[in-house]
Chains A and B, each alone.
Chain A
Amino acid sequence: MSFGQVGPSLIFVDHSVTVVNLNNDVLAAIVRQNWNDEDWQETFRTYTWHARRNQIQQPLAGHYHVDGRVVYFTPLFPFAGGETYYAVLDYGRLWKKSGGLPVGDKSYENRESLDLIFAIPASPTSPTFVELVYPASDTLPANLLRMYIHFSAPMSTGEAYQHIQLQDERGHIVEKSFLIVDQELWDTDRRRFTLLFDPGRIKRGIQSNLDLGMPLHDGHVYRLVIDSTWRDENGNALSCNYEKRIVVTAPEREKLSNDGWKIFEPEASSKSPMVVQFPRPLDHALALKYIVVTDTFNNIIPGKPAVTNGDRTWTFYPDKPWTAGHYTLQISPYLEDPAGNNFNNAFDVDLSVSRRVNSDEPIVMSFVAKNEMN
């Protein structure tokens, strides 16, 4: 090494690990050889600190390129916040591979590896929390099938069932309450998780139901506990645990019917909401989606629905004022209650009593928007 020359070093900069101050001749020789990612990885590797410490011989995947006098390694996925990494350059190998050294020159043998440990700061984010759990009501049937857990931000996947427990009055865990779906049921934003009770324990005439019994017993009180170690998309824990009280009533084994649905008609020439009340709660997500208002030409009236009052009230806010006249409420036959009963069939179809009905025909109810009497 000539006096005064600064040696090469590894530097972490701009989402990449770089090698700077390489010997010009060595670098020029390597560039001429046109190394691909695999060639580079033989010489210049980056590991997670965990992999380095535990001798897991697996460097990060990524791409290499040379720009000017700098070699860059950019990982396939950005370095993760909160993680520590270890980069190592086998300088002797690089020197040797560069070739073009005078015959008998063994100077590469004394070239040592260069390495660098660097940490990525965890990105400060406001903690994610459980916003709400549906059904909104505390009072629920013993054959409850479905619950929705809404989060304030996108969540990570693959660990949901570790963080959800059903506990009885004494705080004992009710084992095997839920249907485990390895792939997990998320909405597209990963902010709503669908939790299903094990249908095998809700259905009639199935052995696990007869032996283990239903997870929820009429007249008892339970708690659904969501623990804060469930991680959001950034890998951070939730801000706190969430608990929902469940007071259990008799199972709901009847198919849905619109008998007893009450429509409160809106006022024409106004944007007054139209309200429908149901005698028993409906599935929150499906009630938002599977009920629409149409005009006499079967056009859907644009507006925003809301489901409130323990999922017993559907309120529709039209985008435009109502025109005086006739409208129709159209309800999908596949709308369900929280126990999975829909308009066609109860959750369990008792074949000794009835046959399964399969109809796509919507259930329709008429109403009128009237001008206020003056």
Chain B
Amino acid sequence: MKTNHHGRVKTMVVMILLASVITGLKAAPPAPKKGNIALKSLTSITFNKDGILFLADPLGTHVYAIETQSATQPNPDKLNVANIDEKVAALLGVQVKDAKIVDMAVHPISKEIYLAVTRTGSPAQSLLIKIDHKGNLQPLTLNNVSFYETSLTDVPAPGTKLPKEWHSLNMAVTDMAFVDGELFVAGLSGEQFSSKMRRFVFPFTNQSQAVQLEIFHTSHDTYETHSPIETFLPFPINGQMNILAGYGCSPVAKFSLQDIRSNKQLRGVTLAELGGGNRPVDMIAYKKDGKDYVLIANSDRTMMRMSSEDLDKGKPLTTVVPGAYVNAGVNYLAIAEVGVMQLDDFNDKSFIVIQRNINDGSLNLKTMEKWF
């Protein structure tokens, strides 16, 4: 290489860098690892449409992705596992108080149901349980599996002078969803009050960088605050993909996917206030008679249904609701179902829920017909 001209060398360096960036982009997708996954915790699970299951292990500061058996199988109209908490506890050899169901996801192809479960003990165990269409429970071991992994720890910006300890992380993962080639992870720090949305391109690469997004919503037009997202859902609004985010106490805000991808900080648009004293615990999208809907399960209110049409027409909420527990903004249909703790779409005819029966206190996994 001739080095007698400074500018030329610089240009060449830039070109080489560019070339390596381009080849980096064109590189074959990374191969999965083979081995054992030792979960320190498991707080959230979600599938992509190909049946890749994502597992959030915030105490281990990792997200894992595993391939699951995904043969299509006829799925029943009805599925009922009464006393699911008792069954899970019995399977794990402990009492109900020592086995907790923390999340649920339905396999997009086989329609089998996956539970994330924690078993108290020394040490505490986190595991997956699969429920087949006969209602049989089967623990899934994560030994000798093919998997991808990525760290949840913040990656310092290039050239940063901040000590690396400042990037260590202590967080809870409140929800995850797979959108358009990327895993979105909503988290809340246990030490610093920030609510961040991280994006990970999948398959995860070694250099997989979390893109952080600090998000704010205005419940009022004066003060800007950030709050933890309880649950979120990719959902098209006016033809554009948005993240619809449910917050505690309990506004629902939208963030356009395009804005999320091009910003480091973003202020969402609050579309609805579901009414105070409540937390949305799960949100799903479904179709009924050709129309699109969002279904919301709540901690302290009934289930709610919002229509895509109403969301399209939603105006930003900038005024204070007139009193405690009053709802505002995009309207919802209150569905006469309470105590729904886990919610997912199942098939054309039904949802799957884990629901607390308020008459006898039992916890049941069951299909819920799409009447509405």
Contacts and interface: CB of A to CB of B under 8 A. Distances in A.
Contact of B225 (A56, A187, A199, A362): A199
Contacts of B122: 123, 154, 233-234
Given A157-B100, A289-B191, A332-B162, A208 B276 contact: yes
B249 interface: yes
Contacts of B92: 60-61, 76-77
Interface residues of B, number: 80
Interface string A310-334: 0000000000000000000010101
B343 interface: no
Contact of B59 (A79, A190, A342): A190
Contacts of B191: 194, 283, 285-286, 289
Nearest to A346: B223
Contact of B161 (A61, A196, A362): A362
B279 interface: yes
A251 interface: no
Interface string A224-251: 0000000101110000000000000000
Contacts, number: 219
A370 to B, nearest CB: 25
Q: Which of B92, B125, B214, B218 has the most CB of A within 10 A?
A: B92
B228 A212 contact: no
Interface stretch (A27-35, A175-183, A269-277): A175-183
A78 interface: yes
A75 B93 contact: yes
Contact of A203 (B41, B139, B223, B264): B223
A224 B160 CA distance: 40
Nearest to B87: A58
B190 A182 contact: no
Interface string B23-57: 00000000000000000110110000000000000
A50 B165 CA distance: 47
B219 interface: yes
Contacts of B161: 298, 362
A254 B338 CA distance: 42
B172 A184 contact: yes
B306 interface: no
Nearest to B161: A298
B166 A207 contact: no
Interface in A17-66: 46-48, 50-51, 54, 56, 58-61
Interface string B138-167: 110100000000000000010011110110
Contacts of A196: 193
A185 B94 CA distance: 24
B137 interface: yes
Contacts of A79: 93
B170 A188 contact: yes
Given A50-B95, A146-B193, A186-B59, A233 B223 contact: no
Contacts of B321: 207
A13 B324 CA distance: 60
Contact of B90 (A47, A190, A204, A298): A47
A348 B218 CA distance: 11
B118 A157 contact: yes
A181 B279 CA distance: 10
Interface string A339-374: 010100001111110001010101000000000000
A263 B236 CA distance: 55
B12 to A, nearest CB: 31
Contacts of B277: 176, 208
Given A158-B100, A290-B166, A362-B162, A183 B87 contact: no
A85 B218 CA distance: 54
Contacts of B165: 289, 292
Interface string A198-222: 1110011111101110000000000
B161 to A, nearest CB: 6
Contacts of A212: 276, 324
19 contacts: A48-B90, A50-B90, A56-B90, A61-B92, A61-B138, A79-B93, A83-B93, A146-B193, A157-B118, A194-B190, A194-B191, A200-B248, A200-B249, A206-B220, A207-B273, A235-B121, A332-B162, A340-B193, A349-B223
Given A183-B43, A235-B121, 10 more contacts: A50-B90, A80-B94, A83-B93, A176-B277, A183-B102, A188-B61, A205-B320, A208-B277, A233-B123, A348-B224
Interface of B: 40-41, 43-44, 58-61, 83, 86-87, 89-95, 97-98, 100, 102, 118-125, 137-139, 141, 157, 160-163, 165-166, 168, 170-174, 188, 190-194, 214, 216, 218-225, 227-228, 248-249, 264-265, 273, 276-277, 279, 281, 299, 320-321, 323-324, 326
